[in-house]
Amino acid sequence: MGARKRGAAMRWLDRYQERRTTADEAVKVIDSGHRVLVHSGCAMPVPLIEAMVRRADELRNVEVTHILTFGEAPYMDPKYEGVFRHRALFIGANARKAISEGRADAMGVHLSEVPGLFRDGTLPLDVALIQVSPPDEHGFCSYGVDIGTNKAGAESAKYVIAQVNPKMPRALGDSFIHVSKIHAFVEDERDIHEMPQFVFNPEDPTNRVPLTIGENIVSLIEDGSTLQMGIGIIPDAVLHHLRGKRDLGVHSEMFSDGVVDLVDEGVINNEKKTLHRGKIVAGFVLGTKKTYEFIDNNPILEFRPTEYVNDIFIISQHENMVAINSAIEVDL
């Protein structure tokens, strides 16, 4: 290592060491009236959230905002009414009760537009709580399993607290934050949240309808198509039936274990994509350890924020683009 490179490495490493702290100490920066961003999806920084909630007696009117998250969200407990209030930018299962009871707010917005709300000050952020991989030799940490809207949030917040977790995969693409942009580091190695996956079982009566729907949908998908998959059992069932297809690609805000299986089997190779040929482009993953191991330092993947992945102009540049999603209700 040359002297210049060694000097640069020492500077960011010194900064990292100086800013290492505990979760309880880090969240003392949160004050009453603050808006706090929580890293979404399977990347929820649980130790930081727990530490924030432990300060409930000291705080009032703290808004906690994020997209879909999984696992416990203790700040939505009724006993914290007046202390924390959640603003849901995507309503998840852990937020529905609070929203229906009027203790949390739902804000309808396209995923592609959320980063702009952070950047232009429509939703100014005081503190961002994120979870990242350890820094590489150049001082860059990866947002790991969820870049999505979180990159813009962390870049826009006045203060950034990061849980640094060696179990967080190093996702490649536009998915990094430098140590110099983070104000406090909390090292914690707990497991990354895993999302339950669709299990193929034709004998299970709950699987028969999704599998039948999936089989019908597959007949509409041509070889060489580029796929977008949403959340839910229907997209997962479709993936199960795609094993007879060839040269499929992926440009999707998210994917899960089913895509990993199709890559392993050679069904998805991205060779026919008209944009980012050879690459899976995505914003986040909702999977299990299998998916997390797959995305770690994998050059087939190019993670991008949702303002890019979900941009209609970018999507329109793909030939044979197929979107597979579930709907709770359709207004005809």
- Cα separation of 298 and 284, whole Å? 14
CA 160 to chain centre: 17
| Helices 233-240 & 205-218 angle (0-180, nearest 10) | 60
Distances (CA, A) of 24 to 71, 127, 161, 265, 266: 21, 15, 11, 46, 47
Backbone angles phi, psi at 111, to 5 degrees: -55, -40
Nearest residue to 46 via CA among 153, 192, 203, 246: 192
Task: Say which of 58, 113, 189, 253 is annotated catalytic.
Answer: 253
Instruction: For residue 15, give the 3-state DSSP assignment.
Output: helix
Instruction: For residue 268, give the 3-state DSSP assignment.
Output: strand
Reply yes or no on whether 253 is catalytic. yes
Lookup result for tokens 């069904």: 267
- Cα separation of 45 and 51, whole Å? 10
What residues are labeled active site?
253
